[in-house]
Structure 1
Amino acid sequence: MPKLTAADTTAAVDQFMASLDHPFKAEIQALRRAILAVDRSIAEGIKWNAPSWRTTDYFATTHLRSKAGLGLILHLGAKARELPDGRLQIADPASLLKWLAKDRAQAEFGSAADLSAKLPALQALLRQWITHV
């Protein structure tokens, strides 16, 4: 993990959220809590001008301009990595992920109810995802 900066803190996310004008602001706050609850090693910060989460490197970033409502991009950090089996092997029984590349996927939530219903499946996905970071 590169050296952390002031943007790599919960305080930075709190400040960002305080000034955010977004129709899914409450859902973004719920998503923050849910992601941080997945594992004690997860921390948050502002990366790519959006709330993002990391363990040893950033692995998830809020997609604030999603046309479907609220999006979450799952990735393995800023640099592409070689993957042994060609693509991440993530069990996704709820079909939440839309694969954007071999190492990048997106989950979208169209409403507060949709997010609430999908959070347990998303948390299960994230437990798998962070093992690759």
Structure 2
Amino acid sequence: MTEFLNKLNHPFRTEIEQLRDGVLVSNKDLTENIKWNAPNYCFENEDRLTMRIQPLATQVQLIFHRGAKKQKQPKDRLIANKSKMLVWKENDRAIITFKNCQEIENGKAKLEKL
């Protein structure tokens, strides 16, 4: 992942690294790879979290999902946590947006619970 980020030369590199660390610390069973030209995290070999770091913008997003393929929508949201950090697009997909390192640090404890 370091080599990928070095080549990317992203202006939010610090934020991306900080968010990566928070995600990986939250669950030792997560594996990291690259998907859609961004850091991606799997649980039991299933995609569950993907960063949105493109286009080069003023934020980094973490997308909670059930994988790349469209599936039947669940009746309830996949995450019962009522965190205001989560913006729900559908019951199986939510997004958290961070605009700087301070926001990532402030949300670290809540992110680890999610």
Tell whether the structures are fold-level matches, with TM greater than 0.5: yes
Q: Post-superposition shift, 1:102?
A: 1.8
What is the aligned-residue identity percentage? 31
Deviations 1:109-130 (A, max 9, x none): 11111111011111111xxxxx
CA distance in 2: counterparts of 1:28 and 1:105, whole angstroms: 18
Asked whether 1:55 is paired with 2:68, we answer: no
Q: How many residues align?
A: 112
Identify, as 1 or 2, the structure richer in strand.
Answer: 2
Alignment RMSD (CA, Å): 1.7
2:74–2:92: 8 Å Cα contact kept in structure 1?
no
- TM-score norm. by structure 2 comes to 0.87
Which shifted more, 64-73 or 26-35? 64-73
Q: Which amino acid aligns with 2:22?
A: A
Q: Which runs of 4+ in 1 moved over 6 A?
A: none
Structure 2 unaligned runs (5+)? Answer: none
Which residue of 1 is the match for residue 62 of structure 2?
A: 72
Structure 1, gaps ≥5 residues long: 1-12, 126-133
Partner of residue 96, structure 2: 107
Structure 1 residue 64: Cα displacement: 0.7
More helix by proportion, 1 or 2?
1
- Which residue identity is paired with 2:10? H
Give the superposition deviation at 1:59.
Answer: 0.7
Q: 1:34 corresponds to which letter in structure 2?
A: G
- Alpha carbons 1:80, 1:103 under 8 Å: kept: no
Of 45, 66, 71, the residue aligned with 2:33 is 45
